[in-house]
Chain A
Amino acid sequence: MQGGKTRDIAYNYIYTGSRFNQDLSFTHQYFNLYRNRLSKLRTRIPTEAYKKILFERITEVKVGQEVLVIGIIIRSHKERISNIEKYIVKVGIIDPRPSLGNFSSNKDLLYIEDENGRLKIQTDTLYGCWEHLITGVVIGIKGFIREDASLEAMEMILPIVNLPPQITQYKDELICFVSGLEVGNPNFSHTLLHVFADFLLGGLEDSEGSVSGRIVRLVILGDSIYKPVNARTVDRKAVGESELKGFKEMSSSLKQLDTIMAELAGIFPVDVIPGEMDPTNASLPQQPLSPYLFPKAAIYSALRSVPNPYEFEIDGVRTLCTSGQNINSMSQYLPETMNELEIMELTLNYRHIAPTAPDALQCIPIQNTDPFIIDQLPNIYVVGNMRGYKTAISNEGVRMIAVPRFSTTKSFVIMNRFSLESTAITLHEFI
């Protein structure tokens, strides 16, 4: 039963992401999450040099003072449409404001808030750099209180963090990352999925020698199942429509995925992270997909159904993964010119995986902690369902990898688990 065929790999896997396993409880409000985020990150902002001007409470500052305040940033977007507007019954109004893809503009207002109150931040002295600030990040700001009680910001101070652990060994072993398989997507050929599986199973002869033979782990970063349009809402108002049609389609796609994963999990460990489209809760942290959905693959212990975000350590090398909702959400509220990799680095700098949760990103109203805070930088930070493959090393030495959506790019990523060098492989249907 224990997957006798599984490739014999001797490595030291530790699951370090248990903080992302959370109860699905929706009985509380969101303010606790912000309070926990603030109190935890506040202690990590280095204030020794500013003892004299540090204010424990934002409300105690006085006009004319030089201050250092610590708080959560609120960015109020001029272009953002209030959720209330959706619910207001409109009389005589024809065109509701069209929703923009991106809400950021240079007219946005910034505030900094702590448990007691908030201050308006004057952005004109920050030149361009305030545009990278976003609701939900915790920072310290050194500045000056103007006549109108706003804060003229001079310097931003970020929380400190533990650097990634040192990597001491080397082996020629690869980890494969794939995202957005979208099994069942009608615009996408099934054969490609089989080509992908064949590649991993070594069925395709590789001119540069056996890449597949060196793969020791597959991580699936979300959106594995395609969600048909008629399965996106449960609205049975329409008279006469077959009620479960969309969901039946989904369950047949699931069967296909199950078959493929059973094949793969027989060869090496497979981690399945849920994504936005997958059938589990939609709020971050998303809880593992039910094993009942994969009756065949679930037999193998090598199949791990894990939460999103997901963090693990192998031989002392730490990897942090998300299915991409955190980055996609942030990109709506940051300048359009920023690419996905830059936004990924921002989350590392802010020491927080998902600052826009819960303001703009669905999130469980967790009572006593904020699991998205980064205490220890990982060696590798992988985000799925991005537009294209990109990689870089952050200022603090984190290897960042943006994994493209398989269904639109036909690409996936392989990475050496020690050198952290990675490459994208694009499949062609008829090779």
Chain B
Amino acid sequence: MQTDIDYYLGESLITKGTNAAILRIYGVTEDGHSVMAHVHGFEPYFWVEDLSKNNPKFLCGKIIERLNSNPNCREMITKVEFHKKKNIMNFTNDPPQNYYKIFTNVPKSVATVRSSIDKAQAIYDITGSSTTFESNVPFALRFMIDTGIVGMGWIEIPPEKIQIRDPGYKKSTLQIEVDVYYKDIIVHKPEGEWSKIPPLRVLSFDIEVNNDGISFPTPDRNEVIQIGNICKIPGDDQALSKAIFTLGQCGDIADADVKCYVNESQMLRAWREYVINLDPDIITGYNILNFDYNYLFKRAEKLNVKDFPYFGRIRNSLTRIKDTTFQSKAQGLRETKEVAMEGRIQLDMFQHIQREHKLSHYSLNSVSLTFLKEQKEDVHWTTLKDLQEGNDDTRRRIAVYCLKDCYLPLRLLEKLMCLYNYSEMARVTGVPFSFLLTRGQQIKVASQLMRKAQSCDMLIPTLSKADIGDKYEGAFVLEPKRNFYNIPIATLDFASLYPSIMMAHNLCYCTLIKPENKKNFNPEDYTLTPTGEAFIKAHVFKGLLPQILEELIQARKRAREELKNTTDPFMKKVLDGRQLALKISANSVYGFTGAQVGQLPCLQISSSVTSYGRLMIEETKNEVENHYSIQNGYPNDSVVVYGDTDSVMINFGIDDLTQVMNLGREAAAHVTKKFINPIKLEFEKVYFPYLLLNKKRYAGLLWTNPNKYDKIDMKGIESVRRDNCELVRETINTCLHKLLIERNLDETIVYVKNVVSALLQNKIDLSLLVITKALGKKQKEEGKANKNTYTAKQAHVELANKMQQRDAANAPNVGDRVAYVMIKGTKGQKAYELAEDPIYALKNDLPIDFDYYLEKQLKAPLMRLFEDVLPNAQSLFNGEHTRKRYQPKVTTGAMSKFIQITNTCIGCKTSLKTGYLCQGCIKNAPAIYMEKVITSTNAERNFQELWAECQRCQGSICQEVLCTNKDCPIFYRREKVKKEMDYVKGELDKLALIW
């Protein structure tokens, strides 16, 4: 199976003597041997249209001459051929036209020659531009398209056509290296027997670096102290290799190779050797692209280890780190590094998860918690220094920790089925695996389109990248009728709406009729879309995009069918990956036509698609509301309360869940009849109850079966902002739970009031109030020099500075997450001065700023939630329950010196002159004593549960817990419980004195 393809310039076996492009296919054989084939004879080419009107002056030979004499592309053209082809753009009745197929000496020349041809006079003596076709296809992909190879597909080379290289002639470190002529390759479609995936070696690594105890490590100053590695074939139980490279002696680890080095350069060299010998197909880790590789390479440079950066499968080929940017509509611009290592795929789990999953935190801790339900011990980097300078055992602790960091990305990779899903995506779209990681969405559709076009003798024009600017109307949203619906709301969805619109109306580049040509066609033969574009109907000519979509949808149907019938767990993963890839691919075709900076944008198509969508939602709404009415004998007039892109929510005005489900099914079938095949409206689910807050913002209890609900479904609510504290999330979730499942509004209100009053009385756990924010790059102290520049002061930055002054070693650094709570300040203090380290606040009894939490954190999301539920939502935040407030002891600020702490009664907190209990409470002394005892035992229980959990989580009960993972819900509770115990113990001791 091929895993990657690239090419190099060398002496081809076919065209001896000259430099030609030779492709290298890297792969793995069925039994897991690594193999590479040098593929000879395939030449780079592109197309250009023939504007010559059969003028003999422009015969093939002449063109070579003309172009080769052009100063910009001297001697680049090797061959020109003449073919009959069609342009994919626009439908015409014209017969195929003449196109030149221009072959160049090397792939790079394609771009050079293209830019010369763009100025048309390079070929024809006419001014104006002439379009080139398929001149921006990466050479490797060109080869794959022409030979039918797909990414992660199987290739066979017949034994008689193969030349196996002797070890002496091998250019690579692979086990088998062969030469072959490109036409001798047999390509297998990745179906049936050829769906299998051979054993691929995945290496996960992680480095640990030292520090000077003050600032964040940099490769200039701080050495790499350990490199952990785990190599495994996904699906296997046992790892192939588990090794840790350490600087300094290190205690043994039973199932890992511990390799100790005195010298860092030696360690780096040995590690390189290890990786090469292991020969992994895929390298993974967590943030290796931006951190680990970079650090290692810089470090090697610093230490002058010249033979270090050679990790590719080609001998003596330098591995380079390039800065690239990755832009997508969904994520914006992201700067990242690209590591080019011949024959090895770089699958950084950090980037994968960032790309594929929307999370509030992307640290390895919280990611493993989300997907693996496992916390990771987080040892702060300053602690590492002490461990490194300790003894064999402390260094062994780093090693165990480091290996865990290697293990988790591997587990994530397997759990998220990355290998299967990416492989199937490569197979479906036909691009190499690595394209999926380094390139955007467009190349995937482009690859499919080119393959299809080639089979229809069509050519795709290469457009110069110009922004077409015009925005078109996007997805359509019906105005929501905001309310809390305590009645079943049926939801009807259009199944794959955009693909089915494109299929139903035969929308494609090649079916679009230019407005001026409309008159040439019989109006019966074309469709006018709501935006006024004309597309030829399928009975005349079936468009390529509809064909591709149809195939994708058919293939998905087959894959799902097979999935049902397969029992083999590996095959199941493959098939599930495939059906997912097919679904995603089908949905991304529409995006390809609408991409504003795209390869082949065609707004006529994309705007027609969305306008059809809009029309259909409106039609559905009208149809449902007209048909399901009292007039037609239904119990109530139905109302469409909301509609978004491809779904409508209907209130039939009926209480009974089963009845609503039946009506929903019936309505779906009824409305479907009004639309062209394959557009299909499906009944999917019922929300009951349904809380509709706004556009794209709702929550409901989802039912697909009248006897048991499925889950709470939320949209736009769960994405509570990252800088909200946990209390907000917990409160919102509990409210939703109470509203939707218990359906008890009164209790929900009591709950919210309790939270508010508990907050004001200082009874909320501190850890729920912690806010975390990443500390960005330090702003240089330019503010002083230039007083006019206004830099907004941020609370967490100010806190970081404060902590720096208190204890430099433990202060957060750039890139760290700063955790803080807001404390009450004195008059005139600015808000940004009031952030405080939670631990510090706890230890020093600093008063929490409840009003901040109430007004700035809780209020807005709760108001949004209750606006339509309660007539007077404001009453949640003022009234009786907010009267009682905790009065903090003043321990800070100027006033604290003038305040005498008065003695208060332990029972009721009224102030006392002497003693510990007031007259009223003294008769209840035993009861008060017992209350305090219970408070204390509850704290004891928490202490045991929390610390025992930390011991378990770190994987050792005989070693001290060092973890300072601020994202872990346990961390602050652990500290707080100690404080609580101290306090209660003090009170108990005082009570004991009374007797």
Contacts and interface: CB of A to CB of B under 8 A. Distances in A.
Interface of A: 24, 26-27, 29-31, 34-35, 38, 57-61, 72, 74, 82-85, 87-94, 113-119, 145, 148-150, 231-234, 236-239, 244, 247-248, 250-251, 254, 279-283, 290, 292-293, 358-363, 365
Contacts of B952: 82, 359
Interface string B918-956: 000000101111110111111011011111110111011
Contact of A89 (B730, B933, B945): B730
Given A60-B252, A237-B757, A251 B926 contact: yes
5 contacts: A35-B958, A84-B969, A247-B930, A251-B930, A281-B933
Contact of A26 (B251, B714, B767, B981): B981
B436 interface: no
Contact of A84 (B375, B926, B930): B375
> Which of B251, B938, B944 lies at the interface centre, i.e. has the most chain A CB atoms within 10 A of its CB?
B944
Contact of A293 (B924, B926, B931, B969): B926
Contacts of A83: 945-946, 948-949, 970
Contacts of B951: 29-31, 359
A80 to B, nearest CB: 9
Nearest to B933: A279
A47 B940 CA distance: 39
Interface string B864-882: 0000000000000000010
Interface in B743-768: 750, 753-754, 757-758, 763, 767
Contact of A88 (B252, B369, B959, B995): B369
B960 A29 contact: yes
Given A31-B961, A74-B957, A83-B949, A244 B931 contact: yes
Closest 8 CB pairs of A and B: A149-B255, A87-B969, A282-B937, A247-B927, A251-B926, A149-B254, A83-B949, A292-B995
Contacts of B927: 244, 247-248, 250-251
B237 to A, nearest CB: 9
> Which of B711, B754, B924, B958 lies at the interface centre, i.e. has the most chain A CB atoms within 10 A of its CB?
B958
B713 interface: yes
A59 B256 CA distance: 11
Nearest to B954: A31
A237 B396 contact: no
Contacts of B712: 92, 94
B953 A282 contact: no
B320 interface: no
Contacts of B981: 26
B333 interface: no
B416 interface: no
Contacts of A90: 733
Contacts of B960: 29, 31
A281 B936 contact: yes
B282 interface: no
Given A83-B945, A113-B958, A282-B941, A239 B995 contact: no
Given A94-B712, A117-B252, 20 more contacts: A29-B947, A29-B951, A30-B957, A31-B958, A59-B396, A84-B953, A91-B714, A91-B718, A114-B958, A117-B396, A149-B255, A237-B763, A244-B924, A244-B931, A250-B930, A279-B934, A283-B940, A283-B943, A358-B948, A359-B951
A89 B726 contact: yes
Contacts of B924: 244, 248, 251
Contact of A31 (B400, B763, B957): B957
A240 B965 CA distance: 39
A254 B928 CA distance: 13
Contacts of B251: 57, 59, 116-117
Nearest to B699: A92
Contact of B931 (A29, A89, A247): A247
A85 B212 CA distance: 36
Contact of A232 (B393, B741, B934, B978): B934
Contacts of A282: 937, 940-941
Contacts of B881: 239
Contacts of A74: 957
B560 interface: no
A29 B949 CA distance: 12
A365 to B, nearest CB: 7
A90 B731 CA distance: 11
Given A283-B940, A358-B947, A233 B957 contact: no
A94 B711 contact: yes
Given A89-B733, A92-B718, A247-B927, A281 B937 contact: yes
Contacts of A113: 956-958
B928 A234 contact: no
Contacts of B709: 94
B931 A234 contact: yes
B542 interface: no
B385 interface: no
Nearest to A276: B937
Nearest to A118: B956
Contacts of B254: 58-59, 61, 117, 119, 145, 149
Contacts of B256: 149
B970 A237 contact: no
B968 interface: yes
Given A31-B961, A283-B940, A84 B949 contact: yes
B256 to A, nearest CB: 8
B944 A358 contact: yes
Contacts of B946: 83
B253 interface: yes
A352 to B, nearest CB: 14
B696 interface: no
Contacts of A281: 933, 936-937, 940
A148 to B, nearest CB: 6
B482 interface: no
A377 B952 CA distance: 31
Nearest to B921: A244
A87 B934 contact: no
A234 B935 CA distance: 6
A54 to B, nearest CB: 16
B689 to A, nearest CB: 14
A279 B934 CA distance: 7
A275 B140 CA distance: 76
Given A31-B951, A359-B948, A362-B940, A234 B733 contact: no
B598 to A, nearest CB: 35
Contacts of B255: 148-150
A56 B508 CA distance: 75
B729 interface: yes
> Which of B933, B936, B955, B961 lies at the interface centre, i.e. has the most chain A CB atoms within 10 A of its CB?
B933
B992 A290 contact: yes
B238 interface: yes
B947 A237 contact: no
A27 B981 CA distance: 10
Contacts of B978: 26-27
B973 interface: yes
Contacts of B948: 30, 83, 358-360
A150 to B, nearest CB: 8
B953 A279 contact: no
B758 A237 contact: yes
A280 B984 CA distance: 13
A90 B369 CA distance: 12
Contacts of A365: 943, 947
> Which of A34, A61, A94 lies at the interface centre, i.e. has the most chain B CB atoms within 10 A of its CB?
A94
Contact of B969 (A88, A115, A280): A88
B737 interface: yes
A77 B499 CA distance: 48
A32 B833 CA distance: 40
A290 B994 CA distance: 13
A292 B932 CA distance: 15
> Which of B754, B881, B957, B973 lies at the interface centre, i.e. has the most chain A CB atoms within 10 A of its CB?
B957
B973 to A, nearest CB: 7
Nearest to A243: B931
